């Protein structure tokens, strides 16, 4: 069999999107937590999606304690409502990257404010219709949902091409799942957008560990570390990826040093950050009514130590990598049970499910004992692409072997530890 195939050929099973990108399951967990903070729109969405505490808060190996659920609810409301306040005050068009399943589109539309929600195809497919149905018909034109890969500049630029004016890009709960390579690519992409359109980029993730410690310490005292370890196990189970590996995430064990390192990482990509103190911008929270006044005061006081980051271009000349526009495609052949794949373009969140669909269809029709992958024309591979290769590796008796990797692909393999997995 010999064939040339690209990601636009035919259709594929959208259920594979979840298999390739299990991270999006944590977005359902955060929606449930937001609903628990007495957010009526979130509660309505959670009900329509059939979400339960058991499915969203517990994992296969861990069960969330009541304190952990309450702490997560407080954290979610702090992040969600404060970031929305900052975005609204900016006066720019809000771009939620990722938007998840939150009802922010509903809230902004009711206020007559434009809103763009960007996320994985699986999230957009499942959530956009349900969310749009809760928006008054006369306000629906204010809302746009677009499927993107955050590391794919072409997909981001296309998603935002009809915005006339500056943007406020909000990133919540994404960077903890990114490698340094992916975080760096995201920084390059955001800089391109901000230099073209103007505006700013708010991220809530950089000091999230410190925020969580402050909230849990206020709730459970010295038991906070036990709760945090359980929460980390739960998140890893649900996302099936390593968390907390990006240089843009600070460590409570060395806040000054890790902040300095994160700022240097941004500067390397032509960006600068201003720390915006959470406690100075946090609105009144409904979830704090569920704890004692002393605990609530401790949370509010602790948030004065934490910050979200407002990021803008720093004005320096930085040579950015090519944005890349070529569609992903594969030249494939099979002989003697060995499937040979020559990959070209970007193997990322958008294209990875198609490759997995192609592989599973081929394996159902013919015997595939091994996969030989030629990477000489592969421009980029994301964690979603790596996960597809790992699925293929486990499905074949003789696994997957990679050949002719370029420096970019080799660096990503090394950073993620996949260089020791494939032959």
Question: Per this entry, what is the length of the chain?
Answer: 423
List pLDDT tens digits, range 218-253: 998 877 777 777 666 666 555 455 554 688 999 999
Q: Based on the domain organization, do 109 and 158 belong to the same domain?
A: yes
Q: Return the SS3 of 10.
A: coil
Q: Based on the domain organization, do 192 and 331 belong to the same domain?
A: no
- In angstroms, how far is CA 257 from the centroid of its own chain? 25
DSSP states along 250-319: --GGGHHHHHHHHHHHHHHTTEEEEEEEHHHH----SGGGGS-HHHHHHHHHHGGG-EEEEEEE-S----
What percentage of the chain exceeds 70 in pLDDT? 85
List pLDDT tens digits, range 8-33: 444 445 556 666 666 666 788 888 88
Dist CA 7 CA 12 (whole Å) = 10
Does residue 8 lie in a domain region? Answer: no
CATH number for position 361: 3.30.750.24
Question: Average pLDDT, stretch 129-145?
Answer: 95
398 DSSP 8-state letter: T
List pLDDT tens digits, range 24-71: 667 888 888 888 888 999 999 988 888 776 655 555 666 777 888 889
Q: Which two tokens stand for residue 292?
A: 């004692």
CATH number for position 266: 3.40.50.150
Q: Which two tokens stand for residue 59?
A: 């994992």
List pLDDT tens digits, range 85-108: 999 999 999 999 999 999 999 999
Range of the domain at 332: 326-420
pLDDT at 177 exceeding the cut of 90: no
Q: Quote the pTM value.
A: 0.84
358 DSSP 8-state letter: H
- The average confidence (pLDDT) of the chain is 86
Q: Based on the domain organization, do 61 and 163 belong to the same domain?
A: yes
Residue found by looking up tokens 């949902």 in the block: 145
Q: Give the model's pLDDT for residue 349.
A: 81
Which residue, 313, 338, 365, sits at the end of a domain?
A: 313
Q: Give the model's pLDDT for residue 11.
A: 45
Does residue 372 lie in a domain region? Answer: yes
């Amino acid at each position: 069999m010999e064939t040339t195939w690209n990601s636009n050929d035919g259709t594929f099973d959208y259920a594979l999107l979840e298999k390739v990108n299990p991270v999006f399951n944590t977005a359902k967990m955060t929606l449930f937590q937001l609903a628990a903070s007495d957010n009526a729109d979130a509660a309505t969405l959670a009900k329509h999606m059939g979400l339960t505490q058991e499915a969203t808060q517990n994992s296969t190996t861990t069960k969330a304690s009541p304190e952990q659920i309450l702490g997560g609810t407080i954290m979610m409301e702090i992040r969600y409502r404060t970031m929305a306040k900052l975005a609204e005050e900016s006066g720019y068009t809000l771009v939620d990257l990722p938007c998840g399943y939150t009802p922010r589109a509903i809230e902004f539309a009711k206020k007559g404010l434009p809103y763009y929600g960007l996320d994985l195809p699986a999230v957009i497919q499942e959530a956009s219709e349900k969310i749009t149905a809760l928006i008054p018909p006369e306000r629906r034109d204010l809302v746009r949902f677009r499927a993107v890969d955050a590391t794919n500049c072409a997909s981001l630029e296309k998603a935002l091409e009809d915005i006339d004016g500056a943007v406020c890009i909000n990133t919540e709960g994404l960077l903890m799942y990114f490698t340094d390579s992916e975080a760096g690519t995201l920084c390059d992409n955001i800089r391109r957008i901000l230099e073209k359109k103007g505006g700013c980029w708010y991220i809530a993730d950089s000091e999230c560990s410190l925020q969580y410690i402050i909230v849990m310490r206020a709730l459970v005292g010295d038991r906070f570390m036990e709760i945090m370890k359980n929460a980390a196990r739960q998140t890893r189970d649900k996302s099936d990826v390593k968390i907390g590996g990006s240089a843009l995430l600070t460590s409570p064990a060395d806040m000054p040093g890790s902040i300095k390192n994160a700022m240097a990482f941004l500067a390397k990509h032509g960006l600068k950050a201003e720390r915006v103190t959470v406690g100075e911008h946090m609105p009144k929270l409904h979830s704090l009514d569920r704890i004692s006044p002393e605990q609530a005061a401790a949370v509010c006081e602790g948030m004065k130590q934490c910050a979200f980051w407002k990021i803008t271009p720093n004005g320096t000349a930085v040579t950015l990598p090519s944005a890349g526009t070529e569609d992903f495609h594969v030249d494939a052949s099979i002989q003697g049970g060995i499937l040979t794949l020559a990959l070209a373009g970007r193997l990322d969140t958008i294209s990875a499910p198609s490759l997995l669909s192609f592989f599973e269809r081929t394996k159902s029709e013919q015997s595939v004992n091994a996969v030989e992958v030629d990477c000489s024309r592969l421009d980029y591979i994301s964690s979603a692409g790596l996960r597809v290769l790992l699925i293929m590796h486990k499905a074949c008796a003789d696994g997957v072997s990679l050949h002719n990797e370029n420096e970019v692909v080799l660096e990503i393999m090394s950073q993620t530890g996949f260089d020791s997995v494939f032959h």
